[in-house]
């Protein structure tokens, strides 16, 4: 498997484990959301500096991002979406 695919898979797995959206991760790492999508799909080629910023936001190391993961590992589940999902950092409205 291509190293870009491994990085993308690891970034997505860690992002979802921390319950971050692509948009919030991209904002925190100071990159465009579409570039973040390209990284996770394995088509973008992030620099070492960018990997360092992503690792900092994800509270991990660059080594964890580039380590080859098992191909047999199931894909992580997407975050919940819709009206009743509370955005990160907000409290639900009192009714």
Digit-by-digit pLDDT tens for the chain (95 residues) are 789 999 999 999 999 999 999 999 999 999 999 999 999 999 999 999 999 999 999 999 999 999 876 666 666 666 666 555 555 555 555 65
Q: How far apart are CA 42 and CA 48, in angstroms?
A: 15
What distance in Å separates the CA atoms of residue 61 and residue 59, rounded to the nearest whole number? 7
Domain that holds residue 29: 3-66
Q: What is the pLDDT of residue 27?
A: 94
Give the per-residue pLDDT at 90: 55
Phi, psi of 18 (to 5 degrees): -95, 5
Q: Is residue 81 part of a domain?
A: no
Task: Check residue 2 and give its pLDDT.
Answer: 87
* 87 within a domain of the structure (yes/no): no
Q: How many domains does the chain have?
A: 1
What is the rounded distance in angstroms from the CA atom of residue 53 to the CA atom of residue 91? 28
At residue 62, the pLDDT reads 95
- CATH number of the domain that residue 11 is part of: 1.10.260.40
């Amino acid at each position: 498997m291509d190293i870009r695919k491994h990085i993308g898979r690891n970034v997505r797995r860690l992002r979802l484990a921390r319950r971050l959206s692509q948009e919030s991760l991209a904002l925190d790492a100071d990159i465009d959301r579409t570039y973040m999508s390209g990284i996770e799909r394995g088509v973008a080629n992030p620099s070492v500096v960018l990997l360092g910023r992503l690792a900092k936001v994800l509270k991990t190391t660059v080594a964890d991002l580039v380590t080859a993961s098992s191909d047999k590992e199931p894909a992580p589940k997407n975050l919940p979406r819709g009206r009743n999902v509370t955005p990160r950092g907000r409290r639900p409205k009192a009714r």
